[in-house]
């Protein structure tokens, strides 16, 4: 009887069905669903694609096929939250900055939440990062007008993360630092760090082939100074030959199995990366197994020499904004030794 109840669980049924369909490169997806979730006050910012984007951002691109072949079977490429082919099924590569698995922007988030979070960032951002970042809405980013500012979740989250990192490390150290962004997605944080402070060194890496493919395109399109994308099969060599001051991970550790996350942390520890900044949905860190059960992550970090030095809400200066703002989360700061 228990087995019957398990199979009737919608999430489990969807995952099992998509595992079966994956061998034919198929997946369950309703194309109208994402658009139906978008409130009327949001607009897509890309009336036209940049020159060359149509030819570059296609599912049959040889580089994407190469990355899929290279990543296949790699321990760190094991997936859980991404295993139902939501990337391949729901992301139009030409609109990768839209509301999707990469960056939820509108689902359950009100007009007031964006205004509230924007004014929070302006009031509490000591460095004024939000106004040092711009937003052109390209590649499907959802835009919201807040008192004349074009606000996207990309711009808002990056401003808050950079402010938090600068408060922890010092603005000068962050601006000139060597940063490794694990689970970089399409390159959001690395792009914004380069836009805010072009003198640092930033490396983006990801265990999802589509992410690496998009990241290579996007950071190249933005012509980000001091940035590099390193593919999964090349990252161990980079860690053994280069020094990093900080590793960051925004949400993806909480969307991957513990074995995959442990692989990353073991490499960071072996390379003696001294600081780790994690953005997570809850104050307690966890990895997500393939059956959607949670595995505690803090013991792995502690065993490998990383200790928590600070845990704070995304909207640390206001309990109200942490409840009502755009996609509340938690910032976890770890140091090694």
Render each residue's pLDDT in the chain as its tens digit; 337 residues. Answer: 333 333 334 444 554 565 555 455 454 544 333 444 444 444 555 557 899 999 999 999 999 999 999 999 999 997 766 554 445 556 789 999 998 888 888 877 888 999 999 999 999 999 999 999 999 999 999 999 999 999 999 999 999 999 999 999 999 999 999 999 999 999 999 999 999 999 999 999 999 999 999 999 999 999 999 999 999 999 999 999 999 999 999 999 999 999 999 999 999 999 999 999 999 999 999 999 988 899 999 999 999 999 999 999 999 999 999 999 999 999 999 999 8
User: 264, 267, 261, 246: which is closest to 333 by C-alpha?
Assistant: 246
Give residue for tokens 């012509």.
223
Helices 209-222 and 188-196 pack at an angle, to 10 degrees, of 20
* Token reading at 91: 């992301």
Helix or strand holding residue 29 (H, E)? none
Asked if residues 217 and 152 have their Cβ atoms less than 8 Å apart, the reply is no
Q: Is 128 left (phi over 0), alpha (psi -120 to 50) or beta?
A: left
User: Angle of helix 153-169 relative to helix 188-196, nearest 10 degrees?
Assistant: 60
- Reduce the DSSP state of residue 109 to 3 states and report it: coil
Coil, helix or strand for 265? helix
Q: Which residues in the chain belong to E strands, given as ranges?
A: 43-44, 142-146, 149-151, 178-182, 201-205, 227-229, 246-250, 275-280, 286-288, 294-296, 306-313, 330-336
Instruction: Return the structure tokens found at 89.
Output: 């099924």
Strands 306-313 and 330-336, by their bridges, are antiparallel
């Amino acid at each position: 009887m228990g087995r019957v109840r398990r199979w009737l669980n919608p999430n489990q049924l969807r995952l099992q069905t998509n595992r079966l369909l994956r061998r034919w490169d198929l997946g369950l997806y309703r194309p109208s669903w994402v658009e139906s979730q978008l409130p009327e006050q949001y607009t897509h910012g890309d009336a036209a694609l940049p020159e060359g984007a149509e030819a570059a951002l296609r599912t049959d691109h040889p580089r994407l096929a190469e990355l899929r072949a290279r990543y296949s079977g790699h321990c760190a490429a094991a997936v859980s939250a991404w295993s139902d082919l939501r990337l391949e099924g729901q992301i139009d590569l030409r609109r990768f900055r839209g509301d999707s698995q990469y960056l939820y922007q509108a689902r359950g988030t009100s007009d007031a939440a964006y205004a509230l979070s924007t004014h929070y960032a302006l009031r509490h951002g000591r460095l004024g990062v939000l106004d040092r970042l711009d937003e052109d809405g390209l590649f499907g980013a959802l835009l919201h007008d807040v008192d004349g500012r074009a606000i996207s979740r990309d711009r808002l989250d990056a401003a808050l993360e950079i402010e938090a990192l600068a408060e922890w490390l010092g603005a000068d150290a962050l601006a000139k630092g060597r940063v490794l962004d694990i689970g970089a997605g399409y390159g959001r944080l690395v792009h914004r760090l380069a836009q805010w402070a072009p003198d640092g060194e930033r490396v983006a890496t990801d265990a999802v082939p589509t992410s690496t493919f998009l990241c290579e395109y996007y950071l190249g399109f933005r012509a980000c100074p001091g940035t590099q994308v390193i593919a999964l099969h090349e990252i161990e060599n980079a860690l053994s030959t280069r020094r990093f001051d900080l590793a960051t991970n925004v949400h993806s550790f909480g969307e991957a199995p513990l074995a995959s996350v442990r692989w990353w942390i073991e490499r960071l520890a072996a390379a003696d990366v001294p600081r780790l900044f994690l953005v997570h949905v809850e104050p307690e860190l966890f990895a997500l197994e393939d059956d959607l059960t949670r595995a505690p992550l803090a013991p792995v970090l502690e065993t490998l020499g990383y200790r928590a030095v600070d845990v704070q809400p995304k909207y640390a200066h206001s309990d109200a904004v942490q409840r009502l703002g755009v996609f509340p989360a938690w910032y976890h700061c770890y140091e090694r030794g």
